[in-house]
Chain A
Amino acid sequence: MNAPVKIETTLKDWETDQEVRWCPGCGDYAILKAVQRTLPVLGADPKNTVFISGIGCSSRFPYYVESYGFHTIHGRAPAVATGVKLANPELDVWIVTGDGDGMSIGGNHTMHILRRNLNCQILLFNNEIYGLTKGQASPTSRLGTRSPTTPAGSYDRPAKACAFAIGAGARFVARGFDVSKKLPEVLEAAYRHQGAAFVEIFQNCIVYNKDVFDGFAAPKGAEDHQLWLEDGQPMLFANGTKGITLDHNTLQLAIVDVVDGDWQSAGVIVHNVRNRSIAHMLVEIPFPEFPKALGVLYDDPRPSFEGEVMDEKARMSEGKEPNLAALLGKGQSWTVDDEQGHPAE
């Protein structure tokens, strides 16, 4: 269980006395507030909460949350988190990473924490740029992104964080964005999921990659560009006038018009968070041809890694006394019982 006992806290209890050092207007401020707003809702206990980060703007996050925190090295937060959780499975572990940290230098660890399914929340702040090193193109930068290292525009194809996550075996994949009012709901769902919960949070880097998410994140036209997914609900957007259906000929998702709210006859799919096939399609649909799929895309728990490790340890220890003297004397042993060195029979 994530939180055996619900603790009463307020947003203020989760603020540290440290001065926040992000650029004024950075999307990280909104994410920090969303997290600090969510933690009391979860009944999280500050003493049992650990925020672990790598390197980058996003990774300063732990310094601003009044809990235990570990600002580690570039890309390695999932590995450190694995050790923390295996040493004490009672702790609530949150990993904060970015597109460079989690998808580039630390991509390997992101893959393995997901396939192992360590019970933790992984918040990947995706601003599609290297912010802290002054604006180089990142693995999620769109083709043609101009930056100090790609003055003529980037030409390496961007990685899709959620597609990567589900491909790596994630059992929970969700999306939100920094200033979204629905972000706390997404965070809450991630926390409730037992296992590795991967949340991609689009984050506006106002200095080096300003407003690249405006296409769907801007309030104007949001209803047309955001597809908020809810378990058991039809995949509708544009105020219910459009929906997502499955094109049975191409086995791909397609947009259909919904007339008079009759989404059933339009063939709109009802979202099922346990449907892995649909999740694979949702993480791949292109924007702006489709609206951006947001919310909980996939949520189908499996036994967690630390649980398996503890179970195995218990099984292998069963009926065995931790007797150090016996352990040291085990194996190819013999007893010498006289000074001539003759072994005893």
Chain B
Amino acid sequence: MATLAKPPLSEKPEAVVVRFAGDSGDGMQLTGGQFTLSSALSGNDFATFPDFPAEIRAPQGTLFGVSAFQINFGATDIDTAGDAPDVLVAMNPAALKTNLPALKPGGLVIVDEGEFGKRNLDKAKYDTNPLDDDTLAKYDVLRLDISARTIEAVKPYGLGNKDALRSKNMWTLGLALWMFDRDRTPIHDWLKAKFKGKPEIAAANIAALDAGHAYGETAELAGPLRQVHVDPVPTAPGLYRTLTGAEGIALGLVAGCRLLRLPMFFGGYPITPASAILHHLVRMKEFNVTTFQAEDEIAAICAAIGASYAGSLGITSSSGPGIALKTEAIGLGIMTELPLVIVNSQRGGPSTGLPTKTEQSDLYQAVYGRNGDAPMPVIAARSPADAFDCAIEACRIAVQYMTPVMLLTDGYIANAAEPWRVPDPEAFERMPAEFLEEANGPDGQLLPFKRDAKGARPWIKPGTPGLMHRIGGIEKAVDTGHIDYSPANHQAMTDARKNKIEGIRVRDQQVSVGTKGGKLAVVGWGSTYGPIHQAVTRARRGGLDASHIHLRHIWPLPANLGELLGSYDKVLVPEMNTGQLKTLLRDQYLIDAQPLTKTSGQPFQIAELEAAIATYFDGVPGNAGGNIVPPNDQQLPSTES
């Protein structure tokens, strides 16, 4: 396993990685979320990684019921949730067991020893208590009976033990707030608002939070516990907010529809991790958003297609297995040339796979996965903030080219949060959609499939006088759209559909880090942006001639990409799949793109990418590179259990 050689936490570190881990009922996601807000309010840059089980309430104390939240916050730009935590908070033995391997050597582990009884040790499959043997020998350990201290703190509020223990996470958060010198007021306010109708619960939680904080203050003894201060990151002035990928997508879709001056119709069906987008949109109805929870994935997309036909922008969203169900309807959207946005929040597959874990394995499905020659634009977001821009881009392409567009995101982006400088909508380019209002052919003839210079057909809403016509999934005649199976016509229409999509104008590909031309291009897409960006930056700092190229447009690819990739000696493609973009690049450009793959359900670590990049240079800074033959098809093992 690759580890980072960082010194133990100093008093003023540049960045700190903290992981909160506990039982799925312990409220770790909530704790992490509030700690994130606190980091934001302290002016730190940050990235988070919530990692939780698929089970809603897995049996208490079990290894598979552990829920974790990792945050990397710092006084410099933060791109990833961090490779290895500096601090691990483990609320029970199972959380310790599953998360300890990730902890940095010499890191601090805070455990609730009140949970380390025989029962919980058995459930975590510990033969002996890890607090008493040498399991934790290479770490700083802080043993606290958080359970008992929480019960003590909330005693005045008359709660039973079970209810009192629910505030354990707040005690822990209080301690963390002290440790990183944070203001408690915003969390107090949040608790008061959250438990508005239950003032005694609010008060108990605040008491637990304050008790955790006070513990830190008074117990700042010799030993591992001490206060650490992380400076704010220099940032452009402006309004900021935390943004998750699901929020970024929802807001971007609303903005896209506003810029197109179209009502939004969103059809969805519950699926992890895509549901959050629908949850956000149902609360934005004042923006002329209609949401529809359909009976299944197929109905969700078909209703969206129907809405697009009737003049709204139809949008649907799902994750891999749901996208598979929608596939036939995507073909209908392509065939009838109606605008449609399909958001795919990818997760581990195939089949049900790993519903709450992240993967990028739906690229083939997005680009190739339909019957017939069915070309469709594919866009991939690289971060929550980028998801906002990508959603607008997807809406634009869908309407301007009259086509379904797939927007790829993944479980990591959907749930992760980052600070986002709130853009001014006045600065966005307006792009009002146009509908055909009168016949467009000679002698007043209507030609529903007559194409404009971009190859797009007109959008005709039912309700428009004099433009009645029929569309469908059967092959249609050029211009008139009448049923037509004739050989020449099918050839012409297949070509027209293909040319339209391949002709979509997308921005030229830029180099994210490094230079055009050189020894090695590291080409990524989607949520691997952060780790690749950091790894290439570090490699360059170490004198290696590597550059980072990150694709937003997966299909069609940017027009300059072939030439750009050809300017490097080697092309390395790290992906959280078995090499799907690699195949696409080889296919399109006949280049020897090399895969670097990982399918453990966990994001790439910076260190493992750095190590892989180094193999191209024999690990030696300044090495000319190109003489080393790196192992083909590098498959990274899971670095976490």
Contact = CB atoms under 8 A, between A and B. Distances in A.
Interface of A: 16, 18, 46-48, 50, 52, 55, 62-63, 66-73, 76, 78-88, 90-91, 108-109, 111-112, 309, 312-313, 316-317, 320-322, 324-325, 327-343
A79 B304 CA distance: 9
B332 A73 contact: yes
Interface in B1-46: 37, 40-43
A-B CB proximity, top 4 nearest:
A83-B306, A71-B472, A83-B303, A79-B302
Interface size class of B (residues with CB under 8 A): 35 or more
A204 B164 CA distance: 71
B370 to A, nearest CB: 13
Interface stretch (B86-94, B152-160, B236-244): B236-244
Nearest to B235: A341
Contact of B422 (A18, A63, A333): A333
Max count, chain B CB within 10 A of own CB: residue among A317, A332, A340, A343: A332
Nearest to B284: A327
**B interface, by DSSP: helix, strand, loop or mixed?**
mixed
Contacts of B258: 322, 324
A83 B314 CA distance: 8
A327 B232 contact: no
Contacts of B474: 71
Contacts of B225: none
Given A66-B468, A83-B307, A84-B309, A328 B285 contact: no
By CB atoms of chain A within 10 A, which of B265, B307, B336, B467 has the most?
A: B307
A323 to B, nearest CB: 9
14 contacts: A71-B471, A72-B302, A73-B329, A76-B302, A82-B306, A84-B462, A87-B306, A112-B295, A325-B422, A329-B239, A332-B242, A333-B422, A341-B235, A342-B43
A116 to B, nearest CB: 9
A331 B241 contact: yes
A83 B267 contact: yes
B557 to A, nearest CB: 30
A344 to B, nearest CB: 9
Interface of B: 37, 40-43, 232-242, 247, 251, 254-255, 258, 263, 265, 267, 283-290, 292, 294-296, 298-300, 302-312, 314, 328-329, 331-332, 336, 422-426, 461-474, 482-483
A62 B469 CA distance: 9
Given A336-B43, A340-B234, A84 B310 contact: yes
Chain A interface, >50% SS class: mixed
Contacts of B284: 327
Given A83-B304, A309-B292, A47 B463 contact: yes
B285 A313 contact: yes
B625 to A, nearest CB: 38
A102 to B, nearest CB: 14
B472 A72 contact: yes
A47 B234 contact: no
A76 B309 CA distance: 15
Contacts of B312: 87
A88 B138 CA distance: 66
Contact of B307 (A84, A321, A341): A84
B37 A108 contact: no
B295 A341 contact: no
B286 A91 contact: no
Nearest to B282: A316
A82 B310 CA distance: 11
